[in-house]
A and B are shown apart, each in its own frame.
Chain A
């Protein structure tokens, strides 16, 4: 029997990305949304955008460089999956808009950042972590980090047994104890 390629890319099970339908026409135009001409607003469970007087309801936002630049390059997509444009800098928005957008981003891109490792215990080949994250305290289980962790320079990302990812943007920036604990298991 020959090895059958196809179906899905090789490698581990892909982590689901945001669920946004592909539009009929793909976007070819690079459009940066001018901060002074736009306003994000919250309405019930969804985010709305007013740009140049035009109102889009129920927009989706996707960080384009969530790891290397979490303060900018946000793609804004309308209900049909068409990209309305890109927000280049979060900080350039006026406070109200900025808050609404940041709130939405935090819901759509759930990758907690580890600020401190409280404890770390190995039992039965699993490591139980108790950490402080930018989303509050969390307790989770991982397998051996060496198999699951992704190192990108000083950054370390790893997944727990449920497939949740955790981000340590800069290992050197952690306190010595947290760092030692992470290094011991990775």
Chain B
């Protein structure tokens, strides 16, 4: 293949190597930490660091333990040369993926192994340069706005009769709006100040009556059409936003957890709230204004030129100025508005934070500080609010002034024409009224265009989520599994939340149906990750997990998860009654079932002592319950769920000895007849387990019964020793 001249990066110009270049990577930092270009080149058996001002060369075989060492903001490719550490190249995060790949390659090559550059061709959007997620071709950033508009219009489809009605109403409204000024002309020229031939007074009175009635009728009609239009457009806009919002929420429920790992919960929530909110304002108000204003502008323009094109040209004189000023103010306004919203949300954040931390504030006597913090932010908000209003006022008066300028010009030029009797007074009056109506939509439009582009950005953000495919998806040939026996197998499973950092490494494990396995190991050893993989919250990077001999990827997700039950370490309860929480996985459970489940979980006795028994409402996050009580409700929930595979993340939380015993008892009943995987922290649980699996740094290091492992005096033995020492200290402290 044509890789000879450097791969994956091209060699700098004019540089040649006599031997074949196997690898060339460009780095973006210099040895002193400034930005600059360096190249790592492997040609033949030589590793060369190429700089603009020279090169350093090492024989490949002499570089030991090449490593891509991460630092804050980037990394350093290091190796040992003659037993001394050397720094080969420095780079920022932009290149760290490639260099960690290179480090692996260097290591294989230095050991004399055959290997090839496997780093994925870094996929970037050819248009805007945004790094694309692997496997996607659609750039989330630069999908053209036009497409977004088309998609938005797609949501209009089910409501097309209403949409057409709305457009008709808008056209009608515009046409009606054009009528009253036009009536000015006959009113002046025929009735009030006729020139030349003067009709008798009675005729003129009659005409006056007719004109006034037409005027009144047109106004009434306009009001009616306007009201209908407003109502219909609000109906349509809200409907469409509702559709989009529901789709979004539905989609969020099915997105894989890694989607949430990469984002802050706050921004996800704001997409549902703010972006759809902005979309709603756009669809309800802006679209309507946009249509009406454009129609008005067009209609009035045509009428003006039709009435007197010379005078009409004068009208256009301030038009560019109005647009220009409106645009200029828009930038300022936008800045202030952002600041305003930002400060608004900051104030809110502070409020919710201090109110929920009220106890701490009191305990440390920091009330005055919190008060002054709040006052300061509130003042900042007020100040920005004033800035926003000032900018608005200035923009409004500025454009109004310019508009008046146009009107004044028309007064002068048109007035002269009336005096020279080139046009009638009526024409001038009608003309002036049209001019007054002409500038308002122009001003509005220049703002609306900006407003629309911002709303489209909101729409894009919403669509971006809708376009994110759930990473964990049912395979097309997924098989139904109505009843799982409970055999679980791990075959060479490796997995990392970030691709370069494996958390589990080549894990092999076999769990028999009905067996209870205790997962043991230091924190960070991969216990929770193992569980996440069994639930298929994430898909493995390599290897396979099988349930009853069927690969996890081939099992219908619904079937899998319906038969897995979890008792998590930090119990999450929804706001609602105790009964609702217990029956969360089985909403149609009978009262008897709920009570039986609570009894098995040792929860019944405390529940009946609550004021409303099973109907006691627990707040968000389960306020009003002790952690031991919450835990037992979670156990009851799992009991009622009646899963084939049970997953326990045992709480070490601060429950007293008696509660601990009750929870243990409950768990003991729960695990009977089910395959159980328990993350065990307490020795007491470990004794119940059929086998223990000891994890260390992502690998299974020991498997066996409690007694076997104690005899072996290996990793588990050490863990137990540490545990005993710690509990001795605790016992003394108590």
Contact = CB atoms under 8 A, between A and B. Distances in A.
B335 A135 contact: no
Interface string A165-186: 1000000000000000001101
Interface stretch (A13-21, A33-41, A70-78): A13-21
A186 B71 CA distance: 28
B141 interface: yes
A147 B69 CA distance: 29
A1 interface: yes
Given A5-B572, A10-B265, A164-B92, A124 B76 contact: no
A98 interface: no
Interface in A1-43: 1-8, 10-13, 15-19, 43
Contacts of B36: 136
Contacts of A161: 129-131
A186 B342 CA distance: 10
Given A2-B566, A6-B569, A13 B262 contact: yes
Main secondary structure of the interface of A (DSSP, over half): loop
Nearest to B257: A4
B467 to A, nearest CB: 14
A5 to B, nearest CB: 5
B129 A141 contact: yes
A1 to B, nearest CB: 5
B457 interface: yes
Nearest to A111: B73
B372 interface: no
Contacts of B505: none
Given A107-B76, A110-B92, A6 B568 contact: yes
A110 B72 contact: yes
B86 interface: yes
B658 interface: no
Interface stretch (B528-536, B611-619, B622-630): B528-536
A98 to B, nearest CB: 15
Contacts of B531: 4, 6
Contacts, number: 156
B72 A109 contact: yes
Nearest to B73: A110
B568 A5 contact: yes
B449 to A, nearest CB: 16
Nearest to B145: A125
B344 interface: no
B87 A45 contact: yes
Interface string B578-590: 0000001100000
Contacts of B457: 125, 144
Interface string B227-270: 00000000000000000000000000000010011111101000
A164 B572 contact: no
B592 interface: no
A136 B73 contact: no
Contacts of A165: 73
B73 A135 contact: no
Contact of B141 (A8, A126, A135, A138): A126
B497 A7 contact: yes
Contact of A107 (B90, B127, B130): B90
A124 B33 contact: no
B399 interface: no
Interface string A135-173: 111101101101100010000000011111100000000
A146 B338 contact: yes
B127 A137 contact: no
Interface string A96-111: 0000000100111111
Contacts of B263: 12
B84 interface: yes
A2 B584 CA distance: 9
B718 to A, nearest CB: 12
Contacts of B84: 43-46
B243 to A, nearest CB: 24
Interface string A54-76: 00001000000010000000000
Interface in B36-74: 36, 69-74
Given A6-B528, A10-B260, A19 B70 contact: yes
Given A125-B128, A184-B335, A8 B261 contact: yes
A22 B674 CA distance: 38
B93 A107 contact: no
Contacts of A44: 81, 84-86
Given A126-B141, A137-B35, A165-B73, A45 B85 contact: yes
Given A110-B29, A136-B35, A165-B73, A1 B561 contact: yes
Contacts of A46: 84-85, 87
B570 interface: yes
Contacts of A184: 331, 335
Contacts of B352: none
Contacts of A112: 35, 73
Contacts of A133: 35
Given A2-B568, A3-B572, A4-B566, A109 B142 contact: no
A143 B33 contact: no
Nearest to B90: A107
Given A124-B141, A162-B94, A183-B335, A18 B72 contact: yes
Contact of B85 (A10, A58, A146): A58
B142 A135 contact: no
A119 to B, nearest CB: 16
A151 B31 CA distance: 31
A137 B649 CA distance: 51
Contacts of B267: 147
Given A11-B265, A111-B72, A4 B537 contact: yes
Nearest to A10: B265
B130 A136 contact: no
Contacts of A123: 128, 142
Contacts of B572: 2-3, 5
Given A6-B649, A18-B72, A123-B128, 20 more contacts: A2-B572, A4-B531, A6-B531, A6-B569, A8-B497, A10-B261, A10-B265, A12-B263, A13-B262, A18-B70, A45-B85, A107-B90, A110-B33, A124-B142, A125-B142, A126-B129, A136-B36, A161-B130, A183-B335, A186-B338
17 contacts: A1-B561, A4-B257, A4-B568, A5-B572, A6-B528, A12-B263, A15-B72, A17-B72, A43-B84, A66-B72, A103-B33, A107-B33, A107-B76, A125-B128, A125-B141, A160-B94, A162-B92
Interface of A: 1-8, 10-13, 15-19, 43-46, 58, 66, 103, 106-112, 123-126, 133, 135-138, 140-141, 143-144, 146-147, 151, 160-165, 183-184, 186
In the complex, the 6 A-B pairs of residues with the closest C-beta atoms, listed nearest first: A124-B142, A110-B73, A45-B87, A106-B33, A162-B94, A6-B528
